[in-house]
Structure 1
Amino acid sequence: MPIISLPVIWIILIDIIAWTFFHLLISVICLKLSSTFFLRESYWFKIFWWEKSGKLWQKLFRVKRWKGLILDGTIFLKKGYDKKGLHGTKISDLKTFAAETKRAELTHWLSILPAPLFFLWNPLWAGWAMILYALLFNLPIIVVQRYNRGRITTITSPNK
């Protein structure tokens, strides 16, 4: 039972506005984070050995087949780093691209977090639908970022 009881049309409208608000707010906050934060090596963005430099994601989800269908967030905010392709082939270009995959990954992990708030005004089944939406919308993008960064890391890593 939702805490706030509203007519269905209002619930749908509030859901659309709330998701738009959360996606844009989180995107803007992550865009404002310094690039140096993402250029550093951090446990949070580490590509683990079991990911096999991104090959795991290709094997499990055939990422190469569908990753080109995902829209880059830069088309909506008109800011940021377009990750549809590399911006050069120098090591510094690849490291910048890898850093921007970290920014995108963080953005999409954070974009999942507001989903439980939707239980406040949605019926139980719709609250769970909002959780499912958050996962289905964000996890594929996270997988693409980890796939791309895993591949780049093998090129830029000094321990090759």
Structure 2
Amino acid sequence: MLRLVMPEAVTVVVDVLAWGVLHAATGYAAHRLGAERLAEDGWLLRARRFEARGTWYRRRLRLHRWKDRVPEAGDLFRGGVSKRQLPSYDVAGLQLFVQETRRAELAHWWAMACGPLFVLWNPPVAAVLLVAYGVVVNLPFILIQRYNRFRTQAVIERRRR
């Protein structure tokens, strides 16, 4: 396999810059998604049986205890929506929040999926570490978005009844 060879110091700088650019690019791409693309959970976003509408995250991961301690950048780009608090408590506000959790989850899945690119210019051990970094950095945010979406969807269902 063809691998770009750079001095070690340059490789480290390229790795740091690449992760920064990839996170910004995937975040911006998700920010640009239209509401129609985020109206429903697709294959990747749909609930899995083991998640039990979010209770798995609470019981097994104690997600409710640490989720508010991680950074939130939903309003980083103009027109974005922060997920620190609900836009409003009516059904429309809750639906907007659900839509934004889908957007954020996709952004983190996309960023994590960029990890294998680091194989192109890093030695095998470094590439594995950089892919692992992508998983470790993005997976907590994916879990938080899923947990919040399932909880909010349950509230929407109760309000509609």
Same fold (TM over 0.5): yes
Gaps of 5+ in 1: none
The structure with higher relative contact order (CA 8 Å, sep 6+) is 1
The secondary structure found in structure 1 opposite 2:44 is helix
1:74 match: secondary structure: coil
SS in 2 for 1:33: coil
Q: Quick check: 1-10 or 91-100, which moved more?
A: 1-10
1:101 equivalenced with 2:101 (yes/no): yes
The alignment-based identity, stated in percent, is 28
Report whether the alignment pairs 1:83 with 2:78. no
TM-aligned CA deviation for residue 89 of structure 1: 0.7
State the distance in 2 between where 1:128 and 1:154 align: 38
- Shift in alpha-carbon separation, 1:11–1:79, aligned structure 2, 3 A: farther
Figure out how many residues of one structure are paired with residues of the other and give that number: 160
TM-score of the superposed pair, with normalisation by structure 2: 0.90
In structure 2, the residue matched to 1:144 is 144
Structure 2, unaligned stretches of length 5 or more? none
Is residue 132 of structure 1 aligned with residue 132 of structure 2?
Answer: yes
Q: Note if contact 1:39-1:96 (Cα within 8 Å) is conserved in structure 2.
A: no
| 1:33 aligned residue | 33
- Counterpart of 1:113 in structure 2 is 113
Cα distance, 1:78 vs. partner?
5.0
Partners of 2:148 and 2:74 in 1: how far apart? 17
